[in-house]
Amino acid sequence: MSDSVNPPRIGGWLLLPLAWLIMTMLTSALVLALYLRPLFDSELRTTLFSHADVLLTQWLISLLTAAAVWLYSLWVCWIFCQRSRRLPRHYIIWLLITVLLALKTFAFTPVADGRAIQTLLLALLSAAVFVPYFKRSQRVKQTFIQP
């Protein structure tokens, strides 16, 4: 069969963005589990629901953000494996979302500055490498052609 009927398999350098996507998806699942923990621990649940609405609102926004990132990462992984032509655009959007979340973590989350900078630099580095790759690579253009 011709190459136009059977696009190249996902391999080579495309395994790196797929690995980054899977790693981020697993990290998002862990973060989601951490945000769900107060629902199953009575002491944490009491603390969360006994304080002002501000704490509950912040927790709910964080929970919904973590769930949205996890679901979007799962969907991007699905279309990656399907070799959908929509993938390059959505992968770039996904990378930009990870950069925005890393910026939010750096600016607003009470974590050690070293850890926040490390998260931000990893997100920026991955976006700096993978965005041009997905925009210009012939391998990407030939692999992701399914409707």
- Mean pLDDT of each 10-residue bin along the chain, 147 residues long: 62 89 92 87 76 77 91 95 92 94 82 82 93 91 84
Look at residue 11 in the predicted model and tell me its pLDDT: 79
Residue 32: which residues within 8 A CB-CB, separation 6 or more? 63, 66, 67, 70
The single-letter code of the amino acid at 43 is E
What residues does each domain of the chain span?
Answer: 16-82, 85-146
- 146 beta partners: 84
Find the angle CA(76)-CA(97)-CA(52) to the nearest 5 degrees: 115
Answer positive or negative: Cα dihedral of 130, 131, 135, 140: positive
Residue with tokens 């939010």: 104
DSSP string, 15-78: HHHHHHHHHHHHHHHHHHHHHHHHHH-HHHHHHHHHS-HHHHHHHHHHHHHHHHHHHHHHHHHH
Look at residue 4 in the predicted model and tell me its pLDDT: 53
